[in-house]
Amino acid sequence: MSDTTTEADATEGDGPVIDGVPVTLNGRAIVAHQGELIIEAAERNGVYIPRFCYHRRMEPVGMCRMCIVEVDTGAVRRCCPAACSSAPRT
């Protein structure tokens, strides 16, 4: 028995299992980790979102609204959550 996992082992159904949320960030496809905040996923992928009240060592409070981002869910109305207190959703 092998203790390594291959891509073939991680497949289920039609394709590979993605551990995270697929997101398009400024036109580029990325995967946000489960529970990761938008501001964290963006920063991990080289996009800095301006912030005042967010610090990675503190609980997010979402008070200043400096980090508001546009989220296109495909719905008619686009929504603008605070990136420091919102996680990407499918």
Binding site for ligand FES (CB under 6 A): 51-54, 62-67, 82, 84
Tell the burial category of 32 from Cβ atoms under 10 Å away from its Cβ (0-12, 13-18, 19+).
Answer: buried
CB of 37 to ligand FES, least distance (A): 9
Q: Nearer Cβ to ligand FES, position 10 or 61?
A: 61
Q: Nearer Cβ to ligand FES, position 66 or 71?
A: 66
Of 13, 15, 33, 14, the C-alpha closest to 23 is 33
CB of 55 to ligand FES, least distance (A): 9
The CA R_g of the chain, rounded to the nearest whole Å, is: 16
